[in-house]
Structures are given as structure tokens and as C-alpha cells.
Structure 1
């Protein structure tokens, strides 16, 4: 057919070429692994027990019983300016993703607690989802600080973590032994240890914390308000779309099946389930695991669609059959700072939504320069640079409600961060939040909200 040179035929040819290129690249990596990496991998695993001993005794004490001492923020801020004379002391909060840098957000949480602000709706991505979920579970800044320091950030990735040994990285080309592993997996770390730790700290009465355990009580007054107090963002890379959790859980098979098992329903009774059941019964820790799955570092979280290839539901009649497998990774790929999570333009806000953004350039001259020592560092730098880059381009209204927190040149995956550096991050986050609260004015916030709503309405009218 003449059409084969273009259109469908051309697309097919391009697809075949890409498959060939992919196969060639895989063969090259496999050859490199056999010739170079495998001998080093053997040496690596021989050394492994000794590195564990070194890790055990060389890590700084990670048991910060109390967070760093800071001045009480309440003595420095006018609560009337912050929230208005008669406004409730409630805020919604959205935390940007940033891995280890989330410790700065814990300091900002402490500043909000000094002002006796109550958390209403909470949202975040990746590391921000960790902070938001712990707050939704009733933890405070002291609790979160202790969780992070007692656990030791490196233990979240214990399967892969090794002490930073420059001589090992340079002389043994540290990254090469990992190539055989990457040929058969999609990440360096399974995420199992992270999930275990999150479940432990999110437990309610020794049971997994489910989304139904954190309802939004303000929904009684506003029926259209979110069903739960917590939302987080992840990315479905198989379909190329961001997903909001728990809102989008009903699009996948596992939440329905988990709900059926939780409610002790047989497969034949799956038709009794509702989308709300799929959301209600899903563990919060599983959603956090999805949101923080940094590509190449953590294995993606696997789910299955709840429809077959013809678009027919697999829930109502054939609960035993799954749809196509999809992979879920870090929400930062699609929206690392989802300040928009709780926005509604059809009504005046009763209290503000504050965003806690991790600003790598604040307090530095120009852009922060990251140290890239090997292939893994480079891959992670590429990913984290692209994560939510457009989220930094905030509207006038979003800028006014966003706290920019210094990150002190700490990298997203600096899991071996010393206790002293963690304390420094906490203190800087506290100070930056205090300065933000000093400047914030509720009246100005409402004025900017009205201008934003007017702009959105005008843009909508221009489309018709």
C-alpha cells in the first residue's frame, strides 16, 4: 500500500526501529555487565558484610530525642493579621516533594504549631506526602522529628544503602556492580522497608491506618468538600498521567479487591462495592509508597486497571480477573508541588491554604550546585531536576500563599544525612516559616483570591 510510507505504516516502522534500538542497548549493557561488572559484583558482595559493620558503627547517633530548640513563634506574629480577627485557627497545607529535604518542612510545622494553628486538609507529593500523612494521623512536629531521627533516614533504603566511601566508589567504579541488578528490576530499592516503617508509624490501635480513619469532618457543612483530610499525588507512567490519591483509586483493580477482602465479601458479591469502598479501605501507607517512588531508586508500585481491553468493568462480574498492569512512580514527575489540590473557585475560602515549598536557590547565590559523583547520582539528578519544574512557576496568588524553605544544598536522596545537618535543616525551615507568617495578611490573601477567580472566569469566557 502506498500509505505504508507515511501514516500508519510509517508509525509501525518507527516502532520497529525503536524496539531494535532498545534491544541493542540492552545487549550492550548486558555485555558490559558480564565483562566488567560481574567480577566487581562478586567483590562487592564479598565486602558487603564488612560494609554493614562499618555502617553500624560509623553512622552518627540518629536518636534526636527532642527537636532543636527554637524561639516560640507566637511571640513574633500577629494572629489577627494572619487569619483575620474572627477567622478559625485552621489552615489547609500542601507540602512539596523533596525526599530528605522534607525535614525543613518539619521545622515549618513547628512554627505553625506555636501559633496553635489546626490542620484541616493536608496534601503533598513524595517526601511532602510523608509529612502530610503523619500530620493527618495525628502526629506533631516533635513526633515526626523523632520518627526520622530514631529510624535513621538510611534505614528507609537499607537494602541498597552503603556508607559514602569515596575510595570504594572511585577504585571499584561503585556503580557498575549494580548494572546486573538493574537489568532484572526497575529500581535499586524494593521499597518494602519504607512501607514497613510507614505502616508502623501510621498505625491506629495496632491496625493499618485506612483513609476512612481520616475523614474530613468539615464535609458536614460543605458536602462538596473532599471526603478525606489527606490527598497526595503520584504518577501513572504507563498511561502518562498524574493520579490523585485516594480520589483515583477506583480506576485500579487492587483497591476494589482489597475492599472486598476487608469487608469479607465473596467474589460474587463484588457488585455491592462502591468507589467509596475502594477508597475507604485502602491503607494510607500504600499511597505514600506510591507517591515517593523516585524513578530508578525505588521500584515502581504495580497496579492493574479495573477494565479489560474492551473497556468493560472487571469489578462487577469478574472480580478474579485483572486488567492491564500499570506502574506508579513518584508524583513529582507530574506535580511535585500540588498547591492546587484543595482549590475551589466557586466559593470564598474560610481559611487559607499554605504551601510549603523547598527552594534550592533561597539563601544561595544563583542556583544550588549538586555534587554528581557517579552514574546513579547523575540519573537521580536528571529525574529530580525535571520533577515539578513547572510547579515553581507560581501565579501571583500562589506565590503569596507559599512559604519558601531553604534546603541548605541537601540532595533529595541524602539518606546518610548527619543529625547535625538534620537539625540545621529543621531550624532553617522554622525560621523561614516564621518570616512568612509575619508577612502574611488574610485580607490581602482574599483580595488576591478574588483577582485569581476573576482571571480564571475571564479565561473560561474567552474559550467560548
Structure 2
């Protein structure tokens, strides 16, 4: 049997298996007692005792965070959110807490899970509830995230088994005869899951709120911007713009892509493209999801490619996109003003703390992932080192103990992540000093 396995699977194939293991197995697994019970609803989140206590504390403080307002007295900020798979539920908790403090969002950006929250916050209009975040809570409370695992039945079974409490050796034995198919699938299709269920889910949400095209999205954001003004006594530019920036990685031309800014490079009739495609591009987790592909690109665009993204080669017939986090998982620089005092801050939200300890590199896999993680965060870290004032704008959500790829997440885990987001927002607002930050920016020239 041992000889057969050695013959059957090459060293390259075993490397694929190790990568799958790293993604799915080498993370905290779901305790056996955490099982879904009754269907959740929005009240399970918003009426949780800890959440209501934190929201009351925030509202009592009534934090002043911006000089940009609307006629209802809501304050407006720009916001950038980090990627992190299902940990993005914590981002919903964070933005819910901000909205409960009458803090709304002008420009929004993110990668992967951060991009999902950014797109929905930028598109959804309050209909059933008072705030956009409450609409999002209603959406996620009823969503089975394992629906996003839309590969072949044997793929779903293996992933489900891996995320269960079963011993890993037993998972391997049970699925032994599917391992070959799994490896072939990755080699031929470059990923385990289509990602279509996810794209269709986002598209349906957007269309429910009359966002069918990129033009619809921009028109909606223009409407938001037109309602903004500076608070009394503050002078400056009173023409506001509301942008959205979804970061994706074009691995075909080695381009860090910002949608919808770069849409004309990739899509004909780009104003008619559904924004759900931008989010699908940024959430293409390598191996787990197949790359998002775009074919039949606009022709005769060589000058535009060179001027916008610096690519000078032949325009490919097909582009593969993978998770934007492979190039920039926290694109905090996207709305940066290099000089002057801003009239609204750019808040950043991170999922977990990085660089708290050094990498212990004792195996090839640890070496590989140390290189990978260094590359994906290098640009973001470099920007933060050169712009240290941003440390006053960034909130950190503690996500320890949660697996970013646990699409089989339980209701209890959803609620825990949401509460961690609310908790982090309350802590951030308690410490943030808008007037002090403006004074600091005034000294930077």
C-alpha cells in the first residue's frame, strides 16, 4: 500500500495536498458542541446584552469624528476594511456600532471580505431597518455560508469533513480515493470551488436595491455625496465625492487592480457591468476558489494600460484574477491625502493583529507561507510606516480562535465575531480624538 501511494502521488501532488492542509486543517476547528439550532434573526445580534450595553455606551459618549455632515446630523467618514474570509462578519459588527453612533460612510474600500462589506454598505439602501448595517445583519443571519462551497459533491464532503471535529487521519482515510480527483481538479481548474454561488448571492442583493450596473452604483454614491456639507464654522472645499475601491489581483499582467476605477481595461461597455463581478474577483482565494476570469477584453487599449497601470505588453485574451489580499490585504492608502487637514478621516478596520511574533521557519511549508504573507502585506506595512498618523485611525478586531475559511460557521460563531466587531468599534471610538488628529495633520505640512 505504501509503495502504491508513493507511485500514485508525485512530490508535486503531495505539495498540493500540503497546501490544502495548510488552508483548511492547520487552523482551529469547530468544537463539537457548537451546532446550529434555530434559525437566527437580527434580534439575536442587536439585542444581545453585551451588544446593547456597548451601543448605549457609544451613544452616551456621542463621539465627534468628522467635520462632514448631512442634514440629519450624521457624521461621514471614509472607511477601508481588511480581508479575512468569514472573519468579515466582525466587520459588520464594527460598522453597525459606527452607524449606531450616527457615523456614516462616504468613500469605501476593501479587499476580499472587506470588499464585500464595502460593496454592500455602498449599495444597500435601508428599507426594513433604520441603518444599512442592520440590513446586512439581517442578510448574514439567514445565510448558510457553506453554500459558497459550490464545488463537486466530493469537494464539499472533504471540506466539510476537514472543518468537523473528526480526527484528521480518519478524514484522510475516508476520502483517500478522492484525493487523486482533488489534485487533478486543482491542477486543471486552479481551484476547488466555482465561486458562482457567491457571485449570484451578491448580485441578487445588489439588484434588490436597484444596483444592476456600475452606473447605478456610481449614481447612488453621487446622490450620497450631494447631500454632504461641512459643519458650521468649518471652511474648505464643499464639493464632495463618494468613491468605492475594490482591490483585486490580476495575476496575468501582474497588476494590482482597483475596481471600478480600472473597469475600462477589462470590460467592454464597462458602465453596464454588475458590481458583483468586482467582488467575485477580489474574493478568489487561491486553491479554494477558481480564479475569476475575464475574456474578450477591449481592444486597442495599449495606451490606457500603460498610462493607468504601467503595463506595456500585449493585451492578453484572458485575465485571471485572484484574491486581492495576495497584493494588498489592507489598502489603507487608497483615499490618502498627502497634505492638508482632512474634513473627514479615513478609518481603517483590521481583522486580528499582525507581526506580534516572528515566524519560526522549520519546514518548507512554513518557509513558503512566510514568503507569501510577507509579499501580501509588504506594501500596506510600508505605507503605514511612512504615514504614522494612520495609527490613530485604525481599529483592530480580535479574531483569535476563529478560522478565516470556516464556511461551515455556526450561529454561535457568527454572533461571537459580530460582538468582537462591536467591541472593537466601541474601544476605538472611546480613544479617537478628532480635534487632536486634525492638529497632528496640521503639523505634517
Output the TM-score relative to the length of structure 1: 0.68
The match for 1:7 is: none
Distance 2:358 2:346 in 1: 28
The match for 1:210 is: 214
Among 166, 172, 179, which residue is 1:176 paired with? Answer: 179
**Given the alignment of the two structures, is residue 123 of structure 1 paired with residue 115 of structure 2, yes or no?**
no
Q: Say what the alpha-carbon RMSD is for the aligned residues.
A: 3.8
Aligned ranges 1:279-294 → 2 under 5 Å:
280-294=271-285
Shift of 1:103: 1.1
Given that 2:213 and 2:272 are in contact with CA atoms closer than 8 Å, whether structure 1 keeps it comes out as no
Given that 1:368 and 1:409 are in contact with CA atoms closer than 8 Å, whether structure 2 keeps it comes out as no
Contiguous gaps of at least 5 residues in structure 1: 1-27, 38-57, 260-277, 314-321, 370-374, 455-464
The match for 1:420 is: 412
Among 330, 350, 358, which residue is 1:357 paired with? Answer: 350
Distance 2:330 2:264 in 1: 24
**Given the alignment of the two structures, is residue 196 of structure 1 paired with residue 178 of structure 2, yes or no?**
no
**Given the alignment of the two structures, is residue 134 of structure 1 paired with residue 111 of structure 2, yes or no?**
no
Given that 1:307 and 1:323 are in contact with CA atoms closer than 8 Å, whether structure 2 keeps it comes out as no
Shift of 1:199: 1.0
The match for 1:230 is: 244
Output the TM-score relative to the length of structure 2: 0.71
CA offsets, 1:2-49, max 9 Å, x none?
Answer: xxxxxxxxxxxxxxxxxxxxxxxxxx999528xx99xxxxxxxxxxxx
**Given the alignment of the two structures, is residue 32 of structure 1 paired with residue 9 of structure 2, yes or no?**
yes
Shift of 1:180: 1.5
Distance 1:301 1:102 in 2: 20
Aligned ranges 1:61-460 → 2 under 5 Å:
61=37, 63-66=39-42, 67=45, 69=48, 70=51, 71-73=53-55, 75-76=57-58, 78-79=61-62, 81-83=64-66, 89-138=75-124, 140-159=132-151, 160-161=155-156, 162-163=159-160, 164=164, 165=166, 166=168, 168-172=170-174, 176-177=179-180, 178-204=182-208, 208-213=212-217, 214-217=220-223, 218=225, 226=241, 229-252=243-266, 255-256=267-268, 259=269, 278=270, 280-304=271-295, 305-307=297-299, 323-345=316-338, 347-360=340-353, 366-367=356-357, 386-392=375-381, 394=384, 395-452=387-444, 454=445
Shift of 1:240: 1.2
Distance 2:54 2:375 in 1: 37
Shift of 1:131: 0.6
Given that 2:66 and 2:434 are in contact with CA atoms closer than 8 Å, whether structure 1 keeps it comes out as yes
Given that 1:219 and 1:225 are in contact with CA atoms closer than 8 Å, whether structure 2 keeps it comes out as yes
Decide which moves more: 187-196 or 207-216: 207-216
Distance 1:73 1:60 in 2: 27
Q: Which has the larger radius of gyration?
A: 1
SS of the residue 1:354 aligns to: strand
Distance 1:281 1:100 in 2: 29
CA offsets, 1:129-166, max 9 Å, x none?
Answer: 11111111226233323322322111111324342343
CA offsets, 1:188-236, max 9 Å, x none?
Answer: 111111111111222146763534333334379979865x542210011
Q: How many residues align?
A: 365
Shift of 1:168: 4.1
The match for 1:43 is: none
Given that 2:118 and 2:244 are in contact with CA atoms closer than 8 Å, whether structure 1 keeps it comes out as yes
Whose RCO is larger (CA < 8 A, sep 6+)? 2
**Given the alignment of the two structures, is residue 60 of structure 1 paired with residue 42 of structure 2, yes or no?**
no
Given that 1:231 and 1:244 are in contact with CA atoms closer than 8 Å, whether structure 2 keeps it comes out as yes
Shift of 1:96: 0.6
Shift of 1:75: 3.5
- Judged with a 3 Å threshold, the aligned counterparts in structure 2 of structure 1 residues 299 and 125 are, in CA distance, closer, same or farther, namely same
Distance 1:302 1:412 in 2: 24
The match for 1:3 is: none
Given that 2:348 and 2:394 are in contact with CA atoms closer than 8 Å, whether structure 1 keeps it comes out as yes
Shift of 1:444: 1.8
